[in-house]
Amino acid sequence: MDEGPNELLKSAVAEAVGGRVTALGEIKRTPLEYDAFLAHRSVSRVRGIAAVGGTDVEWSMIEKRTEGPGLATSYLLDNGAREFDAYASGVLDDIAPGVAAPRLYGSELDSEGGRTLWLEEIGHDGTRPLDAETILAAAHDLGQMGGRWVGRELAEPWYFTEWIDRHSQPEAVERGLRSLREARPATSARLGDRLVAAERLVLEQARYRSFLESLPHTLCHHDAVGANLFRSDSRTVLIDWESIGAGPVGADLASLLFSSVRRGDARAGVVVPIVDEAVNRYSEALRAEAGHITPEEIRLGFDAAIALRWKLAADIVAGMDAGHPPRRGSLPGEEPAAALEDLIALLDLLLNSAERARKRALSQLSANPRPG
């Protein structure tokens, strides 16, 4: 993409400022930290001065760029195309009463297959890491979104469909089991019975997949972690709609509560005490839109979606054996001891959710045995 102003960018600025732009002054791009380990993807804050009706107007927006197939990997291409299509489809224009996507000011698909989105810049009204109030408000809003889309046909060809494999990471099972089974004595002493429970969790991943596939489905963001979540004007604004697609009720709540702690977007000491309240708020909001969905189905979806994240256990063991806990990307300067305590608390949440999902599903099976 050219560095200088072009007509598509000028059109995007006009959309942002709400008036006809006759000229753009000097444009300044400031790269933002975003998936720095993924080459050929960039996110920048773009700002400048626009001439609008004889007046100079300051403007600012987010420019999200994915290079074309000559440079970017298939993973990035798929994600960039999916978000591009989501905006083009209009599905993000009115996704739920309390949930929004950043406003789209303009887009470009260039001759080399590169995609650019010019998006509204969103401010966050809360704290980071997320506080309990923000998490509970987001749980309610995600429930509204889940309820609005339950029962609708979710068959767009660009929707993301591999979310279970993304979380359960079947390609890592062999190595993960080896880590759990060969943990050093000091690690085994610290983690105790968690190692046996974690090994069973890994071996029973197919069970949790079947639970999730059997539940009512809705439209999911599939990456509703704290880093992608903003509270703005009493709404939950979600960025990065690269994984949008169908998923079971409760799945987005699992991302919010579990994955936010795993990344360092929230603290276990904040999240663990409010899990039940968050599930209740999500459930009440979802059922206000779709009353035929039961609280038990929602809780099973939430718990089983968390159970997919077995790799946390293997990562903790591998880190402890190597003398340091797994790093959390949103807390790069975190004290190792504090990180380990938080992650072990999250491991307990993982194992408890997996056991609860297993018992609930077995209970439902015994209550409703299959004929024949």
> Which of 49-63, 83-97, 323-337 bottoms out in mean pLDDT, i.e. has the lowest?
323-337
Domain contains 372: no
Enter the tokens of residue 347.
């491991």
pLDDT tens per residue across span 162-217 = 999 999 999 999 999 999 999 999 999 999 999 999 999 999 999 999 999 999 99
Shared domain for 203 and 302, answered yes or no, is yes
pLDDT of residue 362: 75
Residue written as token pair 């979802």: 286
Whether the per-residue pLDDT at 36 is higher than 50: the answer is: no
Shared domain for 169 and 95, answered yes or no, is no
Domain boundary among 94, 119, 144: 119
> What is the pLDDT averaged over residues 87-114?
96
> What is the pLDDT averaged over residues 274-302?
98
pLDDT tens per residue across span 310-319 = 999 999 999 9
Phi and psi, residue 353, nearest 5°: -65, -45
Domain contains 2: no
Please report which confidence band the pLDDT of residue 368 belongs to, taking 50, 70 and 90 as the band edges: low
Whether the per-residue pLDDT at 363 is higher than 80: the answer is: no
Shared domain for 141 and 96, answered yes or no, is no
Whether the per-residue pLDDT at 135 is higher than 80: the answer is: yes
For 212, residues 6+ apart whose C-beta sits below 8 A from its C-beta are 164, 247, 248, 251, 301, 304, 305, 308
Residue 45, domain CATH:
3.30.200
pLDDT of residue 38: 66
CB-based burial, 245-281: b 16+ in 10 Å, e otherwise: bbbbbbbbbbbbbbbbbbbbbbbbebbbebbeebbbb
Shared domain for 222 and 356, answered yes or no, is yes
Domain contains 306: yes
Shared domain for 61 and 186, answered yes or no, is no
CA distance 55 to 118: 23
For 208, residues 6+ apart whose C-beta sits below 8 A from its C-beta are 168, 304, 307, 308, 354, 357
Domain contains 196: yes
pLDDT tens per residue across span 147-163 = 999 999 999 999 999 99
Q: What is the CA radius of gyration of the chain?
A: 22
Task: Give kind and range of the element (H or E) at residue 214.
Answer: helix 205-214
Domain contains 124: no
Contact in structure between 277 and 253 (CB atoms under 8 Å) = no
Strands 99-100 and 235-238: parallel
CA distance 66 to 82: 11
Please report which confidence band the pLDDT of residue 39 belongs to, taking 50, 70 and 90 as the band edges: confident
Whether the per-residue pLDDT at 259 is higher than 80: the answer is: yes
Domain boundary among 90, 119, 148: 119
pLDDT tens per residue across span 222-255 = 999 999 999 999 999 999 999 999 999 999 999 9
Shared domain for 84 and 176, answered yes or no, is no
Domain boundary among 56, 87, 119: 119
Domain contains 328: yes
Shared domain for 26 and 141, answered yes or no, is no
Shared domain for 209 and 311, answered yes or no, is yes
**What is the crossing angle of helices 275-289 and 295-307, to 10°?**
130
Of 314, 293, 309, residue with least CA distance to 354: 309
Domain contains 100: yes
Please report which confidence band the pLDDT of residue 3 belongs to, taking 50, 70 and 90 as the band edges: very low
Whether the per-residue pLDDT at 360 is higher than 90: the answer is: no
Please report which confidence band the pLDDT of residue 35 belongs to, taking 50, 70 and 90 as the band edges: low
pLDDT tens per residue across span 48-80 = 999 999 899 999 999 999 999 988 889 899 999
pLDDT of residue 34: 64
The count of domains in the chain is 2
pLDDT of residue 302: 98
Residue 166, domain CATH:
3.90.1200
Task: Give kind and range of the element (H or E) at residue 343.
Answer: helix 336-367
In Å, what is the CA distance from 341 to each residue of 13, 230, 244, 248, 320? Answer: 47, 27, 32, 31, 12
pLDDT of residue 369: 56
pLDDT of residue 249: 98
> Which of 64-73, 157-166, 340-349, 361-370 bottoms out in mean pLDDT, i.e. has the lowest?
361-370
> What is the pLDDT averaged over residues 297-301?
97
pLDDT of residue 88: 97
Domain contains 125: no
Shared domain for 263 and 159, answered yes or no, is yes
Q: 288 is in which domain, residue-wise?
A: 132-367
